[in-house]
Copies of this chain bind each other. A is one copy, B any other.
Amino acid sequence: MDVSLLLIRPAAPEPIYRQIVGQLRRMIASGQLPPGEPLPSVREVAGVHAINPMTVSRAYSLLEAEGVLERLRGKGMAVAATHRRVQSEDKRMQLIEPHLRELARQARELELSPEPVLRRLGDLLEDEE
- Give the interface of A toward B (CB within 8 A): 7, 10-11, 15-16, 22-23, 26-27, 29-32, 52, 62, 65-66, 70, 73-74, 89-90, 92-93, 95-97, 99-114, 116-118, 120-122, 124-129
Give the number of times this chain occurs in the complex, counting copies. 4
- Chain A contact residues, majority secondary structure: helix
**Do residues A89 and B103 form an inter-chain contact, with CB atoms below 8 A?**
no
A103 and chain B: residue at smallest CB distance: B99
A109 and chain B: residue at smallest CB distance: B26
**Do residues A103 and B111 form an inter-chain contact, with CB atoms below 8 A?**
no
A113 and chain B: residue at smallest CB distance: B89
List 10 A-B pairs, minimum CB-CB distance, nearest first: A104-B124, A26-B109, A30-B111, A114-B125, A92-B110, A30-B110, A26-B110, A104-B125, A27-B109, A100-B121
